[in-house]
Amino acid sequence: MGARIVDSSGGLDITVRESPEGSVLHFNGCVDERARFGTVPVPGPNLIFDLGGVALINSLGIRGWVNWMREMRDKSFTFRRCSKAIVDQINVLEGFLPPTSFVESFFVPYHCDACGGGEQILFRHGEEFEKGTADRSGRVSPPTGAECPKCRARMEMDVIESKYFRFIRYRR
């Protein structure tokens, strides 16, 4: 299945790739006022957003993003490899994710106190976390013994857990 670059507005590149699970959209760059979501083709009912490459998102981009999500309210969304910038907005802005969405995975920054290095570790649904529902509270099970890629010392999560994992709790 081929990939196409559909928007390169100077701040954000979006490539679309068709796959058996649906249309996979890879985002890379900054979601700001330059993002032109309306030009992105979104075929099919199932969309997978790979957001690992989103370095920055601001309110000017959020407005366009939320309006775009609303235009596609008949589709289902899977959010994959959400960067910290995206997770922060999921936590701050209720409504950032459409109701028909599922967060499959997201990155958690880890820091090494020994050498100052660090790494983004991917938390996957069903493994390192499970989202809360009306019947069950959410769960976060960080990997044990995350090692620094540079010096092999043990790394610590570089987030305030109660804030960063807030979106995993059930929201009515």
Residues 16-75 that bind other proteins (CB under 8 A): 30, 32-34, 55-60, 62-63, 66-67, 70
CB burial readout 56-66, b (16+ within 10 A) else e: ebeeebbebbe
Question: Hunting for tokens 């907005």 — which residue is that?
Answer: 89
d(CA 122, CA 128): 8
Phi then psi for residue 13, to 5 deg, are: -110, 135
- Least CB distance to other proteins at residue 91 (A): 8
Q: Which of 17, 46, 72, 84 binds other proteins (CB under 8 A)?
A: 84
Q: Which of 94, 133, 134, 145 binds other proteins (CB under 8 A)?
A: 94
What does the binding site for other proteins look like in residue numbers (CB under 8 A)? 30, 32-34, 55-60, 62-63, 66-67, 70, 84-85, 88-89, 91-95, 109
